[in-house]
Amino acid sequence: MAAEREARTVDLGETHGRPTAALTALAVLVASVLIGLLTPGSAAAAAAAPCAGRKVRTVTFSTGSVHVYNNRGMVCAYTVQKRPGANKRMSVSLQARGHRPRQLAGDRTARIGPVDVYAGHRWVLVRGSVGAGSGSSGWFRS
């Protein structure tokens, strides 16, 4: 009977109340996997939008769209191609009422911008173009 009991016991080595290296490595691996599973959505969302704040308007047109965000009175806009990849002339313009427009134009393959202005509670006008297509928001409060 004693021989059977000895055969069932497994020697885990001398740990003296401390976790072994394998157990520590397993705990680190589990923690890193859990952190990786919890964060990719927020990291991807932060990388996707070049403007901070809440989205207040999207102006769509035949060849693309202009996305407008507001963050405590700071208004930000950028233009995106409908079919990215081809190098096309693009522009984005953002104007707070009573001020000159902030504009950005050039040949791009996917997105141009962001441009931002401090608008406070002023009315805002947003324009954008991709190739031959263009769109304008008309004046609105952001």
Residue 71 has pLDDT above 80, yes or no: yes
Model confidence at 107, pLDDT cuts 50, 70, 90, reads: very high
Element (H, E) at 112: strand 111-118
| Alpha carbon distance 126, 21 (integer Å) | 59
Residue 117 has pLDDT above 90, yes or no: yes
Tell me what the mean pLDDT of segment 63-84 comes to.
97
| Alpha carbon distance 106, 49 (integer Å) | 20
The tens digit of pLDDT for each residue in 6-60 reads: 555 555 555 566 666 665 665 655 555 545 544 444 444 445 679 999 999 999 9
Element (H, E) at 125: strand 123-130
How much is the mean pLDDT over the chain?
83
